[in-house]
């Protein structure tokens, strides 16, 4: 915990309060201006991260829950085969998969090009370099992190409880609403955590599928570290982002009982 968690955080915190530049060196000066400047200048990028990451988490949940439900309750002995079929594409590098989405969603790509040629879509119609493309890319990239916890939670449900509800004349919708969904909430909550946290911090999807107006704070941090070599500013941006995620997790734990969920 100290070597791989506390020490890096302490190093990041010290770096965020430094002044100077890469060529002349950095010095610790309690420079809190890195924080105020980062929040004021890049507030829009922070909002984009929350907006796109949150939307991607919801999309992943909407798609993953029915798929996990069908596999858990109706796939029979082929459950493992269906899970493997769904997860097999994710063995490919996510950069390659994201580039493939970029090709598919291109203005004159294989999906929209023929539709424009047939005058079914206006010539100026586009999805690439829009929030829709970034959100869809994030949802696709982190889909397994939602599917697997939800499936594990559904698979553990005692089928006797479902049969008991049916014996009490509950229809399929009532069984789903009153028995299955409540018992699967631990997996849903875990999936939201595992999907939402990396989604809001991602920058590859925004870089490959987004445009100038869709920049997320993860991309800003990456450029400050690697391109601008402004380590104190990048560390301050990362520290603010990390504290925001930590506050969200603590609130999540207080409302939904994360410790019990993860323990289950």
Angle between helices 143-155 and 131-141 (to 10 degrees): 50
Q: What is the pLDDT of residue 139?
A: 94
What is the set of domains in the chain, with CATH numbers?
43-263 (1.10.3720.10)
pLDDT tens by residue, 112-139: 888 888 888 888 888 988 999 999 999 9
CB 161 within 8 Å of CB 174:
no
pLDDT digits (tens, 9 = 90+) for 81-123: 999 999 898 888 888 999 999 999 888 888 888 888 888 888 8
Output the pLDDT for position 256. Answer: 64
* pLDDT attached to residue 233: 92
Buried (b) or exposed (e) across 69-107, using 16+ Cβ within 10 A?
bebbbeeeeebeebbeebeeebeeebeebbeebbeebbe
Q: Tell me: the pLDDT tens digits for 18-64? A: 998 888 889 989 999 899 998 899 999 999 999 999 999 999 999 99
* SS3 category, 67: helix
């Amino acid at each position: 915990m100290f070597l791989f968690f506390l020490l890096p955080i302490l190093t990041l915190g010290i770096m965020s309060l430094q002044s100077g530049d890469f060529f002349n060196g950095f010095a610790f000066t309690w420079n809190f201006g890195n924080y105020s400047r980062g929040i004021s200048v890049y507030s829009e990028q922070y909002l984009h991260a929350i907006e796109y990451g949150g939307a991607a988490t919801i999309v992943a949940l909407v798609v993953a829950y029915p798929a996990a439900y069908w596999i858990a309750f109706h796939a029979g002995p082929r459950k493992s085969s269906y899970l493997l079929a769904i997860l097999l594409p994710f063995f490919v590098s996510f950069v390659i998969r994201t580039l493939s989405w970029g090709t598919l969603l291109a203005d004159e790509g294989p999906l929209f090009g023929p539709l424009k040629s047939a005058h079914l879509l206006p010539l100026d119609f586009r999805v690439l370099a829009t929030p829709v493309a970034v959100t869809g890319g994030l949802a696709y990239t982190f889909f397994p992190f939602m599917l697997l916890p939800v499936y594990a939670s559904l698979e553990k449900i005692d089928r006797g409880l479902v049969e008991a509800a049916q014996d009490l004349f509950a229809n399929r919708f009532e069984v789903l609403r009153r028995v299955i969904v409540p018992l699967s909430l631990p997996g849903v909550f875990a999936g939201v955590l595992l999907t939402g946290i990396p989604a809001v911090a991602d920058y590859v999807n925004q870089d490959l599928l987004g445009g100038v107006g869709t920049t997320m704070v993860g991309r800003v941090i990456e450029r400050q570290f690697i391109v601008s070599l402004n380590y104190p500013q990048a560390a301050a941006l990362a520290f603010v982002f990390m504290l925001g995620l930590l506050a969200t997790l603590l609130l999540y734990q207080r409302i939904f009982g994360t410790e019990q969920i993860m323990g289950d």
